[in-house]
Amino acid sequence: MTIRRRQFLLAAASVSVAASGISTAEGAQKKIPLRCVGVEEHFSIPEIVAAMRSANRVYSNDLDIEYLYATAPADLAQTEAALVDFETLRLPAMDQAGVAKQVLSLTAPGVQVFKPDVALEFARLANDRVAEVVKRHPDRFAAMVALPPQDPQGAVAEMERGIQKLGFNGFIINSHTHGEYLDQAKFWPILEAAQALDRPIYIHPRSPSPAMAAPMTDYNMSGALWGFGVEAGTHAVRLIASGTLDRFPKLKVVFGHMGEAIPYWLSRLDINAVPGADSRIKNQLLPSEYFRRNLWIAVTGMPDPLVLQYCVKKIGADRILWSTDYPYAPAAPAVQLLDDAGLTDAQRELISHRNAESIFHLT
Amino acid sequence: MTIRRRQFLLAAASVSVAASGISTAEGAQKKIPLRCVGVEEHFSIPEIVAAMRSANRVYSNDLDIEYLYATAPADLAQTEAALVDFETLRLPAMDQAGVAKQVLSLTAPGVQVFKPDVALEFARLANDRVAEVVKRHPDRFAAMVALPPQDPQGAVAEMERGIQKLGFNGFIINSHTHGEYLDQAKFWPILEAAQALDRPIYIHPRSPSPAMAAPMTDYNMSGALWGFGVEAGTHAVRLIASGTLDRFPKLKVVFGHMGEAIPYWLSRLDINAVPGADSRIKNQLLPSEYFRRNLWIAVTGMPDPLVLQYCVKKIGADRILWSTDYPYAPAAPAVQLLDDAGLTDAQRELISHRNAESIFHLT
């Protein structure tokens, strides 16, 4: 989660053209070759936007907040406006870009920066609010359950409510919580619930946990430039090497940003994490084998046809989901990516929507 | 730098076959299609091996040491024996695998874990010792200058002596020194000297700097499995985003392990480090543009044809060097990689030796 001035302006420009009505009409006439379903599409609610600026967020030493509020005030206000909107800006932007559906998630760092009681309250509020949006536009929106990992019992109750009562389709967790990771036993009830409810956990980046952040605090490196990937990639390796994915063999986990570089490192991970080769590593399968069972990636923020080609060859088109990172990045490059990567029609169908429909149980 | 039991045993097995004399003879008759020049090939000297276990290394809180001495004693002894050998084990292993030349470097973490005065003394000793080896076998070995970044003035003097007096071909630096990185002004004299002497700096991984290490200390993640890549990759992004490569526009820097994932992240780095877009980032060129001017990668420890194919397309065959990571990994997969990646003959020539000969000024 970041505010990138240039990208936001691009997105905003595309919105304003769409809002004029002209391009929306053109969009409707234009042949849209694929049903594009985005799985990393963010929202917020005014109460959380306000609380992020207030004394409510005193739970941990959060580099995300520092990063966020280093943004120019005008850019920040524009992004906040885009986050809390659904009908005025968002639907026209989706129409303009050819996005059929967004699977909505509370924007990073979610409720993970709040004290546990406040966090649960905000998660419930955000879930209730976005449930109304999905109810109004069931053909255009689905949603992931926001939850407070710092309150595992409360999180599990909200996960069950989100799937069983509100009809949501997955869970969003923004990497570390108070410097701790999901392989740690205190969080296992959350993983158990996700497995039992048969819905994926989307592990979204946030700025690196405090015990890892220092060398990434210079040169704006703590966010999208570098720290997000280190943080979420480290989380992925912890889930693999800890044996957590053996404990929950049917757990489905999605990582954005083309898998946070894990697909690139995969052969080296396989060489250095051979099951049983070292008493410190606990995984029972090779890292690459979890990509055939537990792990998926999304194309978020990496509109690079060469990277997508590589990932299709390395982990298979059936493990790759489409996404735009709304409102932090424009959708057009992500749509274009599907045309530029030399994919077969079957691969384009899988990546643009079929994989998402399958693992999130979208209807 | 790590001791990987399985890989070491593989390497040792190949050595013992070669030492029998049978396979060496077969190797001589066998068509060796390429001149393979390895640029990440490690050695040590008995004095430094001994000092690594002694009270001499009290300079910093070094996770590398903890990682190293968690290795089974028999494996560690075997690796140490391979590191200090040149003629008995190493040359037969090179013959067996078809390695024409090794550009030797003092194994990680080099002298960076010693107090400055001890570090300089050990660097000089290692450089003197390996100079004798190169003198005995100029057709089979070249060398990089070992240096103590914690003593920049001493380092510069040793860099000049290494290139001008000893005839060396580059410099080895093992990422952070006492938690500090080469973009910091205290190290600029070292970068200035490398540029003036027109030889590359090879930035080799070591375990993550103390302020970044904590989440990577579980599950054996601090070394080759994950921490090495995070550490060296962070160093690469710091050099880019700090503008250091603009200050030293002719500096040549090599990163191993297929560029420590920087080539994979390159499109996202370009999006998030547009020159001038944010006052905190200082680079004057796009990250990808430094790959056309300052940066090279080596294939070390990543014998994955798909990754090599990707890198050839993304940064070009002229930016990729060959290496085996002796004695930590077997050479055969690195040789095989050149056949399996679907390269043109010209690309294979560049990657196997021509690029190395060019930037290291090998004769």
In chain B, whose CA is at the least distance from the CA of A276?
A: B6
Q: Is B108 on the interface with A (CB under 8 A)?
A: no
CB A234 to CB B230 under 8 A?
A: yes
Predicted local confidence at residue B140, as pLDDT: 98
Substitution target from A216, A267, A328 for chain B, most B beta carbons within 10 A: A267
In chain A, whose CA is at the least distance from the CA of B311?
A: A306
CB B268 to CB A302 under 8 A?
A: yes
Identify the residue with better confidence: B320 or A56.
B320
Which residues of chain B from 167 to 196 reach within 8 Å of chain A, CB to CB? Answer: 176, 179, 181, 183
* pLDDT tens digits along B84-94: 999 999 999 99
Mapped to the 3 state alphabet, what secondary structure does chain B carry? CCCCHHHHHHHHHHHHHHHCCHHHHHHHHCCCCCCEEEEEEEECCHHHHHHHCCCCCCCCCCHHHHHHCCCCHHHHHHHHHHHHCCCCCHHHHHHHHCEEEEEEEECCCCCCCCCHHHHHHHHHHHHHHHHHHHHHCCCCEEEEEECCCCCHHHHHHHHHHHHHHCCCCEEEECCCECCECCCCHHHHHHHHHHHHHCCCEEECCCCCCHHHHHHHCCCCCCCCCCHHHHHHHHHHHHHHHCCHHHHCCCCCEEECHHHHCHHHHHHHHHHHCCCCCCCCCCCCCCHHHHCCCCEEEECCCCCCHHHHHHHHHHHCHHHEECCCCCCCCCCHHHHHHHHHCCCCHHHHHHHHHHHHHHHCCCC
Q: Is A308 on the interface with B (CB under 8 A)?
A: no
**How many beta-carbon pairs under 8 angstroms link A with B?**
181
Q: Is A257 on the interface with B (CB under 8 A)?
A: yes
**ipTM associated with this complex:** 0.91
Dmax over CA atoms of chain B, in Å, equals 63
Predicted local confidence at residue B35, as pLDDT: 96
Cite the active site residues of B: 325
In angstroms, what separates the C-alpha of A24 from chain B's closest C-alpha?
Answer: 27
What's the one-letter identity of residue A45? I
CB B215 to CB A211 under 8 A?
A: yes
CB B213 to CB A212 under 8 A?
A: yes
Q: Least CB-CB distance to B219: which of A4, A257, A280?
A: A280
Q: What's the burial of A28, exposed, middle or buried (CB within 10 Å: 0-12/13-18/19+)?
A: exposed
> A325, A339, A340, A345: which is the annotated catalytic residue?
A325
Rounded Cα–Cα distance for residues B87 and B18 (Å): 13
| Contact list, B265 vs chain A (CB under 8 Å) | 226, 229, 261
Rounded Cα–Cα distance for residues B314 and A260 (Å): 18
Mapped to the 3 state alphabet, what secondary structure does A265-276 carry? HHHHHHHHCCCC
| Contact list, B4 vs chain A (CB under 8 Å) | 271-272
Q: Least CB-CB distance to A215: which of B209, B229, B257?
A: B209
Q: Is A9 on the interface with B (CB under 8 A)?
A: no
In angstroms, what separates the C-alpha of A223 from chain B's closest C-alpha?
Answer: 9
Rounded Cα–Cα distance for residues A320 and A256 (Å): 9
| Contact list, B280 vs chain A (CB under 8 Å) | 70, 218-220
Selection from A247, A225, A350 nearest residue B271 by Cα: A225
Q: Is B72 on the interface with A (CB under 8 A)?
A: no
Contact criterion met (CB below 8 Å) for A1 and A64 = yes
Question: C-alpha angle B147/B234/B285, rounded to 5°?
Answer: 95
Q: Least CB-CB distance to A268: which of B219, B257, B269?
A: B257
Mean pLDDT of B200-219: 96
Count of Cβ atoms closer than 10 Å to residue B58 Cβ? 11
| Contact list, A309 vs chain B (CB under 8 Å) | 310
pLDDT, block means (10 residues), chain A with 363 residues? 41 38 37 83 95 71 75 87 97 97 97 93 98 98 98 98 98 97 98 98 96 95 96 98 98 98 98 94 98 97 97 98 96 96 96 98 94
Bridge partners of residue B38, in order along the sequence: B102
Rounded Cα–Cα distance for residues A319 and A305 (Å): 16
Rounded Cα–Cα distance for residues A216 and A308 (Å): 27
Rounded Cα–Cα distance for residues A176 and A155 (Å): 15
pLDDT at residue B213 tops 90: yes
Predicted local confidence at residue A131, as pLDDT: 98
Predicted local confidence at residue B65, as pLDDT: 77
* pLDDT tens digits along B271-310: 999 999 999 999 999 999 999 999 999 999 999 999 999 9
| Contact list, A233 vs chain B (CB under 8 Å) | 226, 230
Q: CA A144, A146, A149, A151 torsion: positive or negative?
A: negative
Rounded Cα–Cα distance for residues B97 and B335 (Å): 8
Name the one residue in this structure whose structure tokens are 């601090």. B222
- Which pair of structure tokens corresponds to residue A71? 């943004």
* pLDDT tens digits along A278-319: 899 999 999 999 999 999 999 999 999 999 999 999 999 999
Contact criterion met (CB below 8 Å) for B34 and B348 = yes
In chain B, whose CA is at the least distance from the CA of A220?
A: B280
CB B215 to CB A220 under 8 A?
A: no
Dmax over CA atoms of chain A, in Å, equals 63
pLDDT at residue B120 tops 90: yes
Q: Least CB-CB distance to A237: which of B221, B258, B282?
A: B221
CB A302 to CB B267 under 8 A?
A: yes
In angstroms, what separates the C-alpha of B293 from chain A's closest C-alpha?
Answer: 21
Q: Is B224 on the interface with A (CB under 8 A)?
A: yes
| Contact list, A304 vs chain B (CB under 8 Å) | 266-268
Substitution target from A226, A245, A246, A304 for chain B, most B beta carbons within 10 A: A226
In angstroms, what separates the C-alpha of A363 from chain B's closest C-alpha?
Answer: 32
Q: Is B237 on the interface with A (CB under 8 A)?
A: yes
CB A314 to CB B303 under 8 A?
A: no
* pLDDT tens digits along A140-174: 999 999 999 999 999 999 999 999 999 999 999 99
Residue A298 phi, psi (nearest 5)? -125, 155
CB B258 to CB A264 under 8 A?
A: yes
Rounded Cα–Cα distance for residues B157 and B193 (Å): 9
In angstroms, what separates the C-alpha of A5 from chain B's closest C-alpha?
Answer: 8
Predicted local confidence at residue B23, as pLDDT: 37
Query: pTM to 2 decimals?
Result: 0.92
Predicted local confidence at residue A60, as pLDDT: 62
CB B241 to CB A219 under 8 A?
A: yes
Rounded Cα–Cα distance for residues A327 and A355 (Å): 23
In angstroms, what separates the C-alpha of A269 from chain B's closest C-alpha?
Answer: 6
Rounded Cα–Cα distance for residues B157 and B121 (Å): 12
Q: Helices B5-19 & B73-84, crossing angle to 10 degrees?
A: 50
Which residues of chain B from 14 to 43 reach within 8 Å of chain A, CB to CB? Answer: none
CB B219 to CB A281 under 8 A?
A: yes
Q: What dihedral angle (degrees, nearest 10) is formed by the CA atoms of A351, A356, A359, A360? A: 170
| Contact list, B313 vs chain A (CB under 8 Å) | 306
Q: Least CB-CB distance to A272: which of B4, B215, B313?
A: B4
Predicted local confidence at residue A69, as pLDDT: 74
CB A242 to CB B306 under 8 A?
A: no
